[in-house]
Structure 1
Amino acid sequence: MARMSADERRELLVEAAIRVMTRDGVAKATTRSIVAEADMQLGMFHYCFRSKQELLEQVIEAITGHSLERAGTLLQQRTTVRDTLRAAMQMYWDHVLANPDEHQLTYELTQYALREPGFEGLARKQYEFYLETLVDLLDSSAKELDAEFTIPTAVLARYLITIIDGLTLNWIVLRDDKIPEAVLDEAADHIGSLSRPAKRSA
């Protein structure tokens, strides 16, 4: 393999881990199988990661990044909070439809972390990361559009992740393509109705 930085190797190992876990399941994704998928030597894994738990944390961040990597560009393309959030949700949903196995993996990661001794904190970090991502999106959209929400964005983020998380799992099981879009419309309408023009200080 050509000479590359530790960050580049780490990114390749994370993507290899996603492929292996999607194909074989989290429990069967050994460090050996991951480095083999990345075409690296086993020592490279320990050079790039302190533990398998650290790798799994970065896998979760990477999957979330895959579905929200263009979210920032939406802030310059929409004129209302409702439309910005709906576009962001559509971007996420398009990724679900295109990569269902990757999203199924996120649920498997959660259950694996909750059941595997020593990995319990990973599930907490997983959902904390989701919430931080959504809080940032809500705060950024409000700031960009000179708006504010009538309830704390921490509450709205939990509400939104509950809808999106449940909707994603529901679709993975049922594969019903008609209803999810309507659910996303309703969620965007509701959250949009909880925004208003920002109060200007005197």
Structure 2
Amino acid sequence: MNKRKPLDERRAEIVEAGLSVAMREGVESVTVRRVAQAAGISLGTVHYCFDDKDAMLRAMGRAIAMRASEPVLAALDVGPDRTALAEGTVEALLVGLKQNQHMRLLTFEFAVSGARTPVLREVAQAHLKQSIAMTREYLQRLADVAGVRYRTEVGTLARMTALRIDGIELAWMVDQDDEAAREGFAVLARDVFDEMEPV
């Protein structure tokens, strides 16, 4: 007798299937029917797990953001030394980008599709908010580890930092130049660390 999978586990499987469809066929090919087929489950199961397609797409965006942030959050484990923190963050950003390049490309697809298609705009806006929120979380943890605060309001700093990361990553996807990306991340890290002051 088959046991019913827990809801969180089933949702994770659906998200993975959705990401797989999006990477193969593009964001605009992601439909509830297509994802159900890819996951080998019924339409009803997808609808049970997600209220609608937009909810599923937002969950996909969260999954992408979480994967991209894991190496960067792990870089905080080096301790309070600012030089080590800056160097670790730069390398983690590059490693995370290279490990998750197909996922990151999907976030740019979401953004372009959302700008072009009113139906996807809400999803694209949700992804942008998630990216900024993850960056803010990192900046707050960084300040705690380094024992500092920022001169600029952290929400503003998070938005500007997230947008600069996107630009560096997009350029890397075009030119695949690791050194240029590393230098871009290093300049960004320097600018963020210049915002720090003792608590």
**Is the TM value for this pair above 0.5?**
yes
Once structures 1 and 2 are overlaid, which stretch shifts more, 151-160 or 16-25?
151-160
Which is helix-richer, 1 or 2? 2
CA distance in 1, matches of 2:91, 2:123: 27
CA distance in 1, matches of 2:79, 2:148: 13
Secondary structure of the residue that 1:40 maps to in structure 2? coil
Alignment correspondent of 2:78: 77
Following superposition, the deviation at residue 151 of structure 1 comes to: 1.4
Following superposition, the deviation at residue 164 of structure 1 comes to: 0.7
On the 8 A contact 1:131/1:157 being kept in 2, the answer is: yes
State the Cα deviation string for residues 110-155 of structure 1 (Å, max 9, x = none): 1222333333222222111111111121112212332111111122
Residue identity matched to 1:161: A
Alignment correspondent of 2:180: 179
Unaligned stretches of 5+ in structure 1? none
Relative to the length of structure 2, the TM-score reads 0.90
Secondary structure of the residue that 1:119 maps to in structure 2? helix
Alignment correspondent of 1:104: 105
CA distance in 1, matches of 2:82, 2:133: 18
State the Cα deviation string for residues 12-34 of structure 1 (Å, max 9, x = none): 10011111101110112222221
1:136 aligns with 2:171: no
Following superposition, the deviation at residue 50 of structure 1 comes to: 0.7
5 Å matches for 1:1-202?
3-81=4-82, 83-84=84-85, 86-198=87-199
Is the alpha carbon distance of 1:92 and 1:44 closer, same or farther for their aligned partners in structure 2, counting shifts above 3 Å? Answer: farther
CA distance in 1, matches of 2:72, 2:178: 23
Relative to the length of structure 1, the TM-score reads 0.88
CA distance in 1, matches of 2:17, 2:141: 32
Residue identity matched to 2:13: L
Secondary structure of the residue that 1:55 maps to in structure 2? helix
* Cα RMSD, aligned residues only: 1.9
CA distance in 1, matches of 2:39, 2:151: 47
Unaligned stretches of 5+ in structure 2? none
On the 8 A contact 1:131/1:158 being kept in 2, the answer is: yes
Is the alpha carbon distance of 1:194 and 1:116 closer, same or farther for their aligned partners in structure 2, counting shifts above 3 Å? Answer: same
Once structures 1 and 2 are overlaid, which stretch shifts more, 10-19 or 107-116?
107-116
Once structures 1 and 2 are overlaid, which stretch shifts more, 147-156 or 48-57?
147-156
On the 8 A contact 2:71/2:95 being kept in 1, the answer is: no
Identity of aligned residues (%): 25
